[in-house]
């Protein structure tokens, strides 16, 4: 496929028990891109990310990251290769303080990837700086969303999978989140995010895929998607 | 004076609390991360004591002479520390060899596999150190006593008192000031997320096992100057430790310390309470030390189901397979089963007394197993203390003979009544919990029953049991008694089966599969489970009664932990979700045990290996496996 692809997913099939969730999902993300995976509730966005991460075992298909085959590798090995994952339900360690949550995510600096420290992350997420010792369980949803992203960045990933970062956030926070993602891109990070919020996706992404019932139905630049009323009406409007 | 002895007892309680805390914190830490309740934790404790015994002996005194005054101290404490480390390494070996393969197995199977380890360690200890009690060395420089309020108090106990809080402090630092500790705390909350952040869970689990096992080993090693070493140390501490971890909250180290203090102090204070008399029988509190701890546990669990400092566990977040529905045997299988029963009935004609006695035992265990299966399969409640009800039935018969010289009919009628009442009482608490908490609570209740029959010599004859529990004249003949037992057991088993497919059984299964939905259609889930628990206890009591008359005697071992676990193994061997399972399980296991006990002195270890292999090989049980095979074969043939 694409020579320069950092993440290359081909023919991905995933089942939950007997339910066939993903059917031949194809994605290719190039270095430095921000790509959005759009789709309605239950379309298979989270399942795609979990399959890439090794949290769910795909039945068929091939996942290549940075030229290496990571299909079926356990999550910690995938993460160690520089693939960061931010779950949609945040999964903050509720008893651990902000600093401790960040510590869990910490990995060694990685060549060819931006390096992060808590102080540098607090520049992007200033809210967190004021609550270093606060237990994760006593933070607002927006604060937790920032912490979960910061925690994954502590692993100095080359690419992060961001599962619905704008979900359930107040408009002001959504705007902050968009700024943060643009900042990450400027640092050289590659991003695959999933979204239902087209407005948000448009602010941050270069390209888009649309997934429906576990199949990729559309791919193109975000500008092309915005111009294509028919596609948006078919796959995205509720 | 009273105040003085009170203070001394409180101090004694503090000293005991330390050992209890060391073992319990290890168990709790391991559970927090791996979600495995390690039955073998008492074995680590026992090993710690025995290994320390050997090391402190083997180290040559002269080698430490160069250290002068310090020599003996270094030798003794070095031995204790090395013993803890050795046990830690044994823990790692076990984790890698067995537990690593079953992290995704159902929790019941995990508990069972760790019980297999208990059996193996027990026999290994027997083989290495022999059956005699051993007396270890005293701690150098701490052999004397101090005077507190005019009472002698051993110096070594003072040290133990200090060790508890000191270890608590060290553990706190480890968990809050090191990266490893932070990772462990995070993994306790959400281990899959920790993995997704790049942490190798397997290394973490192994490390946690090293720590947990070493803590238990240290707890055992520290007992060396205090207690004689014996082969019962493992199971006797594990019951207390289960109570402490459950009261403190699984996974909470501070909770474990608080609970250890609470339980140990209560037990120490019980020693001061004067004996009292009920119905002409003197009962000494001092002998019933187990009871207050279990009462505390029951009380805590009702108010705070997850313990003092515990919290509800996040679901394991692994897409697990749904419970298969209970499958009826195909008509062919049923016919084969009936043929086997007919063959069973003709058995005495062909074989001698010994075989008939074994066959009677098997019939009894079929009923006992079916009774446990009834609450485990359709009820979804895994009782780890079902021997309690079997034992209550047996003791009902024993007591009827001992006090009333009653005929067998009275005993056999009294058995289900007493067992059923026990089931009603304990079941009321039990149905309020689920999962491992339920398992541990039922085990604790069984230990209460055990401690009552073991410790009240006057009532039950204690360790000596009750003898002379023979059937009436007409049933003395082995073949006649066999016929009676088989008839009652088949009737009981069929009745249980009927209930499973009756509306009550459907309500029970609805409650298991989806409590919320069951409540929504008007089923009082707790009540249904409670009744099921009592019914199950009642049938276990019948089995126990029949067993008492078969053996002619009743002993506390009928109620012991291994008996409860045997029952579980029978159920799991047969498969929880097949109705025919208990029958297969009981026959295979009872036969196996009989053969093993005759073949080798170390049958316990062999049994342990068999249990572990079974858990690894047949997570759906033998009957489930066979039934699936059979159906596939039949399906393929058509
Ligand atoms: N653990 C699971 N077991 C069984 N089915 C699942 C599981 N998780 C998700 N599904 C099903 O898989 C399908 C895809 O789910 P997925 O979470 O990938 O969707 P999504 O696009 O992320 O949706 P959302 O926008 O709601 O997050 C859905 O039909 C969902 O019901
Ligand atoms: Mg999703």
Whether pLDDT at B324 is above 50: no
Q: Which residue of B has its CA nearest to A15?
A: B319
Phi/psi for B436 (5° steps) reads -65, -30
Instruction: Tell me which range, A209-213, B282-286, B593-597, is most confidently predicted by mean pLDDT.
Output: A209-213
Q: How close B202 gets to chain A, by Cα (Å)?
A: 10
Residue B152: Cβ-neighbour burial (10 angstroms; 0-12, 13-18, 19+): exposed
Q: Considering only CB atoms, which chain B residues are within 8 Å of A14?
A: none
Phi/psi for A83 (5° steps) reads -110, 110
Q: Which of B185, B198, B322 sits opposite A96 (nearest CB)?
A: B185
Whether pLDDT at B279 is above 70: no
**DSSP track, B429-447:** HHTT--HHHHHHHHHHHHH
Q: Which residue of A has its CA nearest to B321?
A: A17
Instruction: Spell out which chain A residues touch chain B, with contact meaning CB-CB distance below 8 angstroms.
Output: 16-17, 53, 55-56, 74-76, 79-80, 85, 87, 91, 93-96, 100-101, 103-107, 151-152, 155
* B514 three-class SS: coil
Token output for B457: 């010599």
> What per-residue string of b and e applies to A108-119 under the rule 16 or more CB within 10 Å gives b?
eeeeebbebebe
Question: Distance between CA B462 and CA B368 in Å, rounded?
Answer: 24
Q: Which residues lie closer than 8 Å to B540 by C-beta, 6 or more apart?
A: B368, B371, B372, B386, B389, B390, B393, B419, B423
Is the CB of A55 less than 8 angstroms away from the CB of B192? yes
Taking a C-beta distance cutoff of 8 angstroms, is the pair B108, B572 a contact? yes
Token output for B601: 């002195």
B193 lies within 8 A of chain A by CB: yes
Q: What is the pLDDT of residue A57?
A: 93
Domain boundaries along the sequence of chain B: 2-244, 331-634
B342 lines ligand 1 (CB under 6 A): no
Q: What is the pLDDT of residue A109?
A: 95
Is the CB of B198 less than 8 angstroms away from the CB of A17? no
Render pLDDT for B362-378 as a digit per residue (tens, 0 to 9): 889 999 999 999 998 88
Is the CB of A75 less than 8 angstroms away from the CB of B196? yes
Q: What is the pLDDT of residue B319?
A: 31
Whether pLDDT at B638 is above 50: no
Q: How close B434 gets to chain A, by Cα (Å)?
A: 24
> Which of B370, B395, B346, B621 has the alpha carbon at shortest distance from B497?
B370
B596 lies within 8 A of chain A by CB: no
Residue bearing the bigger pLDDT, A50 or B102:
A50
Taking a C-beta distance cutoff of 8 angstroms, is the pair A45, A35 a contact? no
Taking a C-beta distance cutoff of 8 angstroms, is the pair A125, A143 a contact? no
Q: What is the pLDDT of residue B1?
A: 60
A238 lines ligand 1 (CB under 6 A): no
The residue whose CA is least distant from atom 30 of ligand 1 is A42
Q: Which of A17, A55, A100 sits opposite B196 (nearest CB)?
A: A55
A43 lines ligand 1 (CB under 6 A): yes
Ligand nearest to the CA of A197: 1
Q: Which residues lie closer than 8 Å to A112 by C-beta, 6 or more apart?
A: A158
Q: What is the pLDDT of residue B635?
A: 60
Whether pLDDT at A83 is above 90: yes
Domains observed in chain A: 5-235 (3.40.50.300)
* SS3 labels along B120-177: HHHHHHHHHHCCCCECCCCCCCCCCEEEECCEEEEHHHHHHHHHHHHHHHHHHHHHHH
**DSSP track, chain A:** --TTEEEEEEEEEEEETTEEEEEEEEEEEETT-EEEEE--TTSSHHHHHHHHHTSS--SEEEEEETTEE-TT--HHHHHHTTEEEE-TT----TTSBHHHHHHHH-----TTS----HHHHHHH-HHHHTTTTSBGGGS-HHHHHHHHHHHHHTT--SEEEEE-TTTT--HHHHHHHHHHHHHHHHTT-EEEEEES-HHHHHHH-SEEEEEETTEEEEEEEHHHHHH-HHHHHHHT--
Token output for B546: 């029949």
Count how many pairs of residues, chain A against chain B, have C-beta atoms within 8 Å. 61
B199 lies within 8 A of chain A by CB: yes
Question: Distance between CA A182 and CA B293 in Å, rounded?
Answer: 59
Choosing among B172, B184, B193, B205, which should be mutated to test the A contact, i.e. which has the most A CBs within 10 A? Answer: B193
Ligand 1, residue A49: give the atom nearest the CA: 18
CA of A156 relative to ligand 2 center, distance in Å: 24
Is the CB of A93 less than 8 angstroms away from the CB of B195? no
Mean pLDDT of chain A: 93
CA of B558 relative to ligand 2 center, distance in Å: 53
**Cα dihedral B380→B382→B386→B388 (10° resolution):** -100
Instruction: Tell me which range, A128-132, B4-8, B266-270, B316-320, is most confidently predicted by mean pLDDT.
Output: A128-132
A196 lines ligand 1 (CB under 6 A): yes
CA of A172 relative to ligand 2 center, distance in Å: 22
Residue B620 confidence class, pLDDT cut points 50, 70, 90: low
CATH T-level topology, domain B331-634: ABC transporter involved in vitamin B12 uptake, BtuC (1.10.3470)
Q: What is the pLDDT of residue A60?
A: 95
Token output for A73: 């590798």
Taking a C-beta distance cutoff of 8 angstroms, is the pair B573, B109 a contact? no
Q: Which of A94, A100, A105 sits opposite B197 (nearest CB)?
A: A105
B67 lies within 8 A of chain A by CB: no
Q: What is the pLDDT of residue A192?
A: 97
Choosing among A89, A93, A96, which should be mutated to test the B contact, i.e. which has the most B CBs within 10 A? Answer: A93
Token output for A17: 């028990």
CA of A45 relative to ligand 1 center, distance in Å: 8
Residue bearing the bigger pLDDT, B318 or A85:
A85
Q: In this structure, how many other beta carbons lie within 10 angstroms of the beta carbon of residue B617?
A: 9
Least confident of A57-61, A153-157, B278-282: B278-282
Whether pLDDT at B44 is above 90: yes
**DSSP track, A156-194:** --SEEEEE-TTTT--HHHHHHHHHHHHHHHHTT-EEEEE
A88 lines ligand 1 (CB under 6 A): yes
CA of A40 relative to ligand 2 center, distance in Å: 9
State the pTM of this model: 0.85
Render pLDDT for B447-489 as a digit per residue (tens, 0 to 9): 888 888 888 777 888 888 898 888 888 888 888 888 899 889 9
Residue A170: Cβ-neighbour burial (10 angstroms; 0-12, 13-18, 19+): exposed
B186 lies within 8 A of chain A by CB: yes
Ligand nearest to the CA of A50: 1
The residue whose CA is least distant from atom 5 of ligand 1 is A16
């Amino acid at each position: 496929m694409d020579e320069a692809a950092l993440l290359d997913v081909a023919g991905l099939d995933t089942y939950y028990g007997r339910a066939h969730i993903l059917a031949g999902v194809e994605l290719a993300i190039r270095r430095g891109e921000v790509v959005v995976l759009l789709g309605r509730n239950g379309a298979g966005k989270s399942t795609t990310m979990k399959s890439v991460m090794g949290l769910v075992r795909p039945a068929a298909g091939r996942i290549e990251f940075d030229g290496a085959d990571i299909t079926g590798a356990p999550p910690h090995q995938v993460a160690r290769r520089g693939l960061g994952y931010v779950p949609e339900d945040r999964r903050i360690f509720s008893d651990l303080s902000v600093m401790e949550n960040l510590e869990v995510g910490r990995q060694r600096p990685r060549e060819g990837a931006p390096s992060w420290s808590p102080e540098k992350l607090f520049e992007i997420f200033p809210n967190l700086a004021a609550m270093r010792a606060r237990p994760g369980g006593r933070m607002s949803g927006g604060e937790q969303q920032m912490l979960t992203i910061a925690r994954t960045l502590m692993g100095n990933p080359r690419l992060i999978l961001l599962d619905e970062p704008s979900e359930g956030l107040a408009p002001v926070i959504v705007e902050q989140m968009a700024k943060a993602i643009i900042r990450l891109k400027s640092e050289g990070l590659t991003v695959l995010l999933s979204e239902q919020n087209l407005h948000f996706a448009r602010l941050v992404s270069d390209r888009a895929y649309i997934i429906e019932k576990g199949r990729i139905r559309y791919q193109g630049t975000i500008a092309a998607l915005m111009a294509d009323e028919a596609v948006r009406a078919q796959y995205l409007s509720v | 004076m009273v105040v003085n002895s009170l203070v001394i007892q409180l101090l004694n309680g503090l000293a005991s609390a330390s050992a209890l805390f060391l073992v319990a914190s290890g168990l709790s830490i391991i559970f927090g991360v791996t979600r495995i309740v390690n039955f073998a934790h008492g074995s680590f404790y026992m090993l710690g004591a025995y290994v320390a015994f050997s090391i402190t002996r083997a180290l040559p005194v002269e080698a430490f002479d160069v250290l002068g005054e310090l020599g003996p101290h270094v030798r003794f404490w070095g031995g204790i520390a090395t013993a803890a480390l050795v046990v830690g390494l044994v823990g790692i070996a076990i984790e890698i060899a067995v537990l690593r393969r079953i992290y995704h197995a159902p929790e019941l199977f995990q508990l069972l596999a760790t019980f297999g380890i208990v059996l193996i360690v027990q026999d290994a200890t027997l083989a290495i150190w022999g059956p005699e009690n051993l007396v270890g060395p005293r701690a150098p420089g701490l052999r004397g006593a101090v005077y507190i309020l005019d009472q002698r108090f051993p110096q070594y106990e003072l040290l133990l008192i200090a060790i508890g809080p000191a270890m608590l402090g060290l553990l706190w630092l480890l968990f809050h000031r090191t990266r490893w500790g932070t990772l462990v705390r995070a993994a306790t909350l959400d281990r899959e997320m920790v993995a997704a952040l790049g942490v190798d869970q397997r290394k973490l689990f192994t490390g946690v096992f090293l720590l947990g096992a070493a803590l238990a080993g240290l707890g055992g090693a520290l007992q060396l100057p205090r207690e004689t070493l014996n082969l019962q140390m493992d199971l006797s501490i594990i019951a207390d430790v289960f109570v402490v971890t459950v009261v403190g909250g699984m996974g909470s180290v501070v909770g474990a310390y608080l609970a250890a203090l609470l339980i140990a102090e209560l037990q120490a204070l019980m020693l001061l309470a004067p004996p009292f008399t009920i119905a002409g029988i003197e009962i000494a509190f001092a002998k019933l030390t187990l009871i207050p701890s279990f009462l505390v546990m029951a009380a805590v669990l009702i108010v705070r189901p997850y313990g003092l400092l515990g919290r509800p566990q996040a679901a394991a977040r692994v897409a697990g397979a749904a419970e298969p529905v209970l499958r009826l045997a195909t008509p062919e299988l049923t016919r084969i089963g009936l043929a086997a029963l007919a063959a069973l009935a003709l058995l005495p004609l062909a074989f001698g007394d010994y075989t008939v006695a074994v066959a009677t035992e098997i019939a009894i265990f079929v009923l006992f197993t079916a009774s446990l299966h009834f609450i485990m399969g359709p009820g979804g409640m895994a009782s780890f203390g079902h021997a309690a009800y079997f034992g209550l039935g047996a003791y009902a018969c024993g007591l009827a003979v001992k006090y009333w010289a009653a005929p067998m009919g009275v005993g056999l009628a009294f058995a289900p009544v007493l067992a059923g009442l026990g089931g009603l009482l304990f079941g009321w608490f039990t149905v309020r919990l689920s999962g491992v908490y339920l398992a541990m609570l039922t085990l604790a209740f069984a230990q209460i029953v055990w401690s009552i029959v073991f410790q009240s010599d006057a009532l039950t004859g204690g360790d000596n049991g009750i003898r002379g529990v023979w059937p009436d004249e007409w049933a003395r003949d082995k073949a006649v008694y066999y016929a009676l037992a088989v008839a009652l057991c088949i009737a009981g088993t069929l009745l249980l089966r009927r209930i499973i497919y009756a509306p009550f059984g459907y309500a029970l299964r609805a409650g298991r599969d989806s409590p919320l939905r069951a409540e929504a259609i008007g089923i009082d889930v707790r009540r249904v489970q409670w009744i099921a628990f009592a019914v199950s206890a009642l049938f276990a009591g019948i089995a126990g009664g029949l067993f008492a008359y078969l053996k002619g005697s009743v002993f506390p071992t009928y109620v012991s932990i291994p008996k409860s676990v045997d029952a579980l193994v029978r159920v799991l061997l047969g498969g929880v979700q097949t109705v025919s399972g208990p029958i297969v399980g009981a026959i295979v296991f009872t036969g196996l045990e009989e053969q093993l006990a005759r073949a080798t002195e170390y049958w316990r270890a062999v049994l342990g290996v068999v249990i572990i292999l079974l858990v690894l090989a047949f997570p759906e049980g033998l009957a489930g496996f066979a039934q699936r095979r059979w159906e596939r074969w039949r399906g393929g043939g058509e």
